[in-house]
Amino acid sequence: MLRLPAVSGRFYPSHPAELTAVIHRLIEIESNTQKVAVKACLLPHAGYVYSGMVAGAVFSRISLPRKILILGVRHFPRGEQAAILSSGVWRTPLGDAPIDESLARALRAACPLLREDDVAHSQEHSLEVQIPFLQVLAAGFSFVPVALGTVRFEDLVQVGEGVARLFAESREEILLLTTSDLNHYEDDATTRVKDRKAIERLLALDARELYDTCRNEKISMCGLGPAVAMITALQILGAERAELVQYATSADVSGDTRAVVGYAGMIFS
């Protein structure tokens, strides 16, 4: 399957040279930082003008292996609730990024809840906006895309358990790249308070409390499902450290504090 870009020219530049230059600008602030190996990272997925600096701060901190598992969001009510693509390539202005077929097969075996589905992925931007960063920074990488909709906590735990089995059995290093924006479309002050509550649960590696806090506090974290699955996997794999690399809201760029979106960049080891 050839998955064509859905948000090129809107979320990021459509011209290859301009796109490459933008990515280099987004990472150069932290370019002298020594890169570290991590088990997982959490990245935002808005347009690069709004959240690219947060993503760039994380990418500047971490070493990137050749195999990447991306847990993204299913923003649109189409397709499977837990959707995987197991073959083909994703095209961006920088070329084609191959899906790792052997890794996808292993993940499907480890997590039968996942269903093969190109509909859920066809217009989904949360995974797409990560690919150009990887194409610039991790030449020769392959990846597996998974899009998770709003599903039950128990199902998210099942996905996380499958990811943990995959990682534990793999002889190769794999990065779990999880993507989520935080609270949506409330004023900046409210969003920062709500986002801090979610970030505290992420830092504590507490999947149940993250899920309950977002539900009870009405924190509209679109990637709650991927984040719960990620934390579940990290708990099983013995992760001991979580770090907030950078936080921002869209108001930091637009100046409009009336209705913002929050962005967090985090690493887990």
Residue among 180, 235, 226 nearest 206 (CA): 235
- In the chain, the amino acid numbered 229 is A
Residue among 128, 122, 16 nearest 76 (CA): 122
For residues 20 and 35, what is the distance between their CA atoms, to the nearest angstrom? 20
Strand partners, 68: 143, 175
User: What pLDDT is recorded for position 77?
Assistant: 79
DSSP 8-class letter at 32: T
Q: Is a pLDDT exceeding 60 seen at residue 30? A: no
Whether 58 and 264 have beta carbons less than 8 Å apart is answered as no
Q: CB-side exposure of 180: number of CA atoms within 13 Å?
A: 28
Residue among 211, 174, 205, 206 nearest 70 (CA): 174
- Residues 154-170: pLDDT tens digits? 999 999 999 999 999 99
- Residues 53-73: pLDDT tens digits? 999 999 999 999 999 999 999
Query: pLDDT averaged over the chain?
Result: 96
Its pTM surpasses 0.85: yes
- Residues 76-125: pLDDT tens digits? 878 899 999 999 999 999 999 999 999 999 999 999 999 999 999 999 99
